[in-house]
Amino acid sequence: MGTTGTTDGPLLRLEGITVRFAGAQGPPAVDGVDLEVPAGRTVCVLGPSGSGKSTLLRVVAGLRRPDGGRVLLEGRDQARVPAHRRGVGLMFQDHQLFPQRDVLGNVLFGLRMRGTDRATARARAEELLRLVGLPEAGGRAPASLSGGEQQRVALARALAPEPRVLMLDEPLGQLDRDLRERLAVELRALFRTLGTTVLAVTHDQGEAFAMADRLVVMERGRVAQVGTPVEVWQRPASAFVARFLGFRNLVPVEAVGERRVRSPWGEIPFDPVPGTGSSGLPETWRGRAQLLVRPGGVRIIGGATDPVDDAGAGDAGAGAGTATPRCVVTGRTFRGDHVVLVLRPERGPTVEAACPLRGAPEEGEVVRIRFDPAETVALPPGEAGDRWEAPAPEG
């Protein structure tokens, strides 16, 4: 599975972890998950709510027994190690600070449990509070802190006993967006500095991309994809992952020739799947695929009145010409340095396009578009929920 950062093997390794909820129908909540967290790295488990992420953390922490599979910490099976002896840290989604203790008391807790002597523990707790930016908060009650501050205290508390693995459950989920982005960057820097090994789960891709060295995307209890953020972003492993990452331009296609497919928008060239033959698709897909076009790969090639060869455009069956469908601009969202357009072509599903602010068409304008093959990704074909039927070739 991809590149592993260290030579000593992963610090944390999950093998075939399966969890069934009592009385629940259908597939297990966590279904045979394999996962590795190398020492000093941050691995983010990304998935929609209900995909079994939090349960996975509880299994690693020893708060829940898996129905199958093993948890290995530094190569040792943890099945018989109770939660309080695992030496892992867990930061709960809603912090769970001890209400009856002040901030310092909270941070000291894990150190006290380990029997660290008072002076050392206090020094370490204060150092951590400084590290998370709350050097003066030691005497305050958790309830008097803001959400972001509670977050930092929870982090300091989890870090204080130097856990072998720090687990974060939706670490920034409850904070407002601005704070979230800032904290994500801060956290990454902090973990780098401390060399902390982190396993985080989140449903927020921005959070995951900002923090993670590696991503594990989960779909209904199973691992859908593992890779670096860049790998996942550039080459989502499935339509599910692509949609979860926010990609909208996703259509079922059929191979029609060398590195060309017929799509609902017409015939277009695409970026072949690495290591495949002339068709550009793996044999097992039997000439079918789902094609992802990144918004940046949708090029506006002129207004409707510009002189473009109209013959065959948007008509998939008529010859080898690349489709340049004509679209109406139905939505236009300003995103700072660029504009996201929603385009309705004459046929096929709507297209999302990102284009520079300068010269972006207005809402209601009619434009022609072209798809940049380099910005396409062919994904495994068909699954339930693909609403768009590829149009039959015209005879």
Partner 1 sequence: MSPAARGRAARCGLIALPVAFLAVFFVYPVTAIVSRGLREDGAWRPGRVVEVLSDPGIGQVVWFTVWQAAASTLLTLLLALPGAWALARLDFPGRRLLRAVVTVPFVLPTVVAGSAFLALVGRGGLLDDLFGVRLDGTVWAILLAHVFFNYAVVVRTVGGMWEQLDPRQEDAARVLGAGRFTAWWRITLPALAPSVAAAALMVFLFTFTSFGAVLILGGPRLATLEVEIYRQTAQLLDLPTAAVLSIVQFAAVSVMLLVHARTVRRRETGLGLTGTVDPARPPRGVGQRLLLGWVLLVIGLLLLLPPAVLVERSLSVPGGGWGLDHYRALFLDGGGTFPVAPMEAVGNSLRYAAVATLIALVVGGLAAAALTRRAGRLVRGFDALLMLPLGTSAVTVGFGFLIALDAPPLDLRSSWVLVPIAQALVGVPFVVRVMLPVLRAVDDRLREAATVLGASPWRVWREVDLPLVRRALLLAAGFAFAVSMGEFGATVFIARPDAPTLPVAVARLLGRAGELTYGQAMALSTILMVVCATVLLALERIRPLRSGAF
Q: Which is nearer to partner 1, 143 or 392 (CB)?
A: 143
| Residue 69 touches partner 1, criterion: CB under 8 A | no
DSSP state letter for 360: P
Q: Which of 2, 7, 65, 385 binds partner 1 (CB under 8 A)?
A: 65
Q: How many residues bind to partner 1 according to rule CB under 8 A?
A: 32
Cβ proximity of 49 and 115 under 8 Å: no
* Displacement of CA 61 from its chain's centroid (Å): 22
With CB under 8 A as the contact rule, the residue among 2, 99, 139, 274 that binds partner 1 is 99
Among 2, 23, 26, 82, binds partner 1 (CB under 8 A): 82
Q: State which of positions 194-253 bind partner 1 (CB under 8 A).
A: none
Within 354-373, which residues bind partner 1 (CB under 8 A)?
none
Q: What angle do helix axes 147-159 and 177-194 make, rounded to 10 degrees?
A: 20
Q: Is 86 in the site for partner 1 (CB under 8 A)?
A: yes
* Calpha distance 26→75 (Å, rounded): 32
Q: Which long-range contacts (CB under 8 A, 24 or more apart) does 156-159 make?
A: 156/107, 156/125, 156/128, 156/129, 156/131, 156/132, 157/97, 157/106, 157/107, 157/109, 157/110, 158/89, 158/90, 158/91, 158/110, 159/89, 159/128, 159/131, 159/194, 159/196
Q: Which of 28, 52, 89, 269 binds partner 1 (CB under 8 A)?
A: 89
Considering only 98-106, 125-133, 193-201, 347-355, which stretch makes contact with partner 1 by CB under 8 A? 98-106
Taking the complex as a whole, how short is the minimal distance between the CB of residue 122 and partner 1, in angstroms? 16
- Which CB sits closer to partner 1, 99 or 359? 99
Geometric angle at alpha carbon 82, from 80 and 188, rounded to 5°: 110
CB of 58 to partner 1, least distance (A): 8
Assess contact for 225 and 217: CB atoms under 8 A: yes
335 binds partner 1 (CB under 8 A): no
Half-sphere exposure (Cβ direction) of 86: Cα atoms closer than 13 Å: 28
Q: How far is the CB of 114 from partner 1 (least distance, A)?
A: 6
Stretch that binds partner 1, among 11-19, 84-92, 240-248, 333-341 (CB under 8 A): 84-92
Distance CA 61, CA 64 (A): 8
Kindly list the distances between the CA atom of residue 25 and the CA atoms of 55, 218, 243, 250, in Å, as whole numbers in the listed order: 17, 19, 26, 31
Instruction: Establish if 90 lies at the interface with partner 1 (CB under 8 A).
Output: yes
By CB under 8 A, residue 61 contacts partner 1:
yes
Q: Token digits for 100?
A: 């009856």
Nearer of residues 28 and 110 to partner 1, judged by Cβ: 110
Site string for partner 1, 148-167 (x = CB under 8 A): ---------xx--x------
Stretch that binds partner 1, among 81-89, 176-184, 199-207, 341-349 (CB under 8 A): 81-89
Tokens of residue 166, six digits: 């720090």
The nearer residue to partner 1, 112 or 299, going by C-beta atoms, is 112
In angstroms, how far is CA 367 from the centroid of its own chain? 33
Binding residue for partner 1 (CB under 8 A) from 85, 177, 192, 286?
Answer: 85
Closest separation between CB of residue 203 and partner 1, Å? Answer: 19
As a whole number of angstroms, the distance between CA 127 and CA 366 comes to 61
Q: How far apart are CB 226 and partner 1 at their closest, in Å?
A: 25
Site for partner 1 in 108-147 (CB under 8 A): 109-110, 113-114, 141, 143
Write out the H or E segment, with its range, that includes residue 234.
helix 229-234
Report the interface residues with partner 1, using CB under 8 A. 61-63, 65, 79-90, 92, 94, 96, 98-101, 109-110, 113-114, 141, 143, 157-158, 161
